[in-house]
Amino acid sequence: MADAKDSAITKYGIVGIGMMGREHLINLHHLRDQGLAVVCIADPHPPSQLLAIELARSFGWELKVFSGHEELLKSELCDVIVVSSPNMTHHQILMDIISYPKPHHVLVEKPLCTTVADCKQVLEAAKKRSDMVVQVGLEYRYMPPVAKLIEKVKGRDFGNVKMVAIREHRFPFLVKVNNWNRFNVNTGGTLVEKCCHFFDLMRLFAGANPVCVMASGGMDVNHKDEIYDGKVPDIIDNAYVIIEFDNGCRGMLDLCMFAEGSKNEQEISVTGDIGKGEALVPEGIVRSGSRVGGREHVQTIKAEDERIKYEGLHHGSSYLEHLTFLSAIRGEGRAAIDLEDGLMAVAMGVAAQLSIQERRYVTIDEVL
């Protein structure tokens, strides 16, 4: 393998090296033949640092370790920074990276920030940095069955899209460092933290922007018997969300986070005026049919992407996300999922949280 000091190598730093940060580290290792290396990390949590050091050594990479992103920036060791720290830290970290004299390309984990105001501030600051690519980690777009469904929608296989329905029935939130993900103030709320992925997909499938949101949800099963520093978690564990788009399309999310007994974690359905398609994850199946053909002529295919060398936690989507991001930073295109996409996904989640809290219809203009 080429030495990381080689100027031809694209050098990466990772800020936040918990579970998701280490997942990025593994994905980047599987992309090492693309001429890259992870050279540094920043995280204030010593156990996370140690796990990352051991992992990197098993790949033949020696990491420079910092306790915070400011030190990592000042070291000027890397060209690219992956931000996978807790949600509530994204805003300050991104503002510091964007304002730093030396340009660093950035891949920031979802959600972009926990509030619309913070997202907007990052967006405005980044407009002044034409020397940087900033991409948002809404990588569900790259899951092979979802990517195949996107391709069919763009090819107008279903005609004009009228309805998008997404069901996520899954396990509860995982345990994170200092249990930061148990509280809305840190995550932005479940519908921002988890569901920004689905709102991004809805907007993509609809080919339009959201106008208004109505939602119902609650904290009915999970985390009710947990206490951290005297506080009980306040994140919802189930919801129904309906979104209307400016072209007349409607989207619906059905979220349940105490549904371990499900065959598929995500079932995504897109229906247009001439046909319907659906993607099932993790089965990796795509079904599509037309109104004319009817039930007897529905086609089922197994969606695969031969480029994927590592499936990891997200069925290969993180690998493909890094591949497309690398192309963008090397001048072969723009950020595939940009800050505007990140902002709108957060705005939809914020509107849904507000709708549940105030038991009313919320317009996107209100939150924007």
Model-level pTM?
A: 0.96
Q: Is the pLDDT of residue 186 over 70?
A: yes
Q: What is the CA radius of gyration of the chain?
A: 20
Residue 1: per-residue pLDDT: 37
Amino acid (one-letter) located at 314: H
Residue 137 dihedral angles phi and psi, to the nearest 5°: -80, 55
Q: Is the pLDDT of residue 4 over 50?
A: no
DSSP assignments along 192-220, one per residue: HHTTHHHHHHHHHHHTS-EEEEEEEEE--
Which residue, chain included where needed, has tokens 């709102």? Answer: 199
Residue 210: per-residue pLDDT: 98
| Cβ proximity of 345 and 112 under 8 Å | yes
- What would the pLDDT profile of 208-225 be if each residue is shown by its tens digit? 999 999 999 999 999 999
Residue 204: per-residue pLDDT: 98
| Cβ proximity of 11 and 80 under 8 Å | yes
User: Which ranges constitute the DSSP H helices of the chain?
Assistant: 19-30, 46-58, 69-75, 90-99, 116-127, 144-154, 184-187, 190-193, 196-206, 317-329, 339-358, 364-367
Q: Is the pLDDT of residue 315 over 60?
A: yes
Identify which has the larger pLDDT, 334 or 269.
269
Task: Give the span between the Cα atoms of 155 and 142, in whole angstroms.
Answer: 17
- What would the pLDDT profile of 255-306 be if each residue is shown by its tens digit? 999 999 999 999 999 999 999 999 999 999 999 999 999 999 999 999 999 9
Q: Is the pLDDT of residue 68 over 90?
A: yes
Can you read off the two tokens belonging to residue 271?
A: 């229906």
Task: Give the span between the Cα atoms of 85 and 93, in whole angstroms.
Answer: 9
Task: Give the span between the Cα atoms of 219 and 80, in whole angstroms.
Answer: 38
Angle between the N-to-C axes of helices 19-30 and 317-329, in degrees from 0 to 180, rounded to the nearest 10: 70
Task: Give the span between the Cα atoms of 8 and 276, in whole angstroms.
Answer: 47
User: CB within 8 A of 146, min separation 6: which ones?
Assistant: 140, 201, 268, 279, 281, 317
CA-based torsion, 147, 150, 154, 156: positive or negative: positive
Q: Taking Cα atoms as reference points, which of 116, 117, 263, 262 lies closest to residue 196?
A: 116
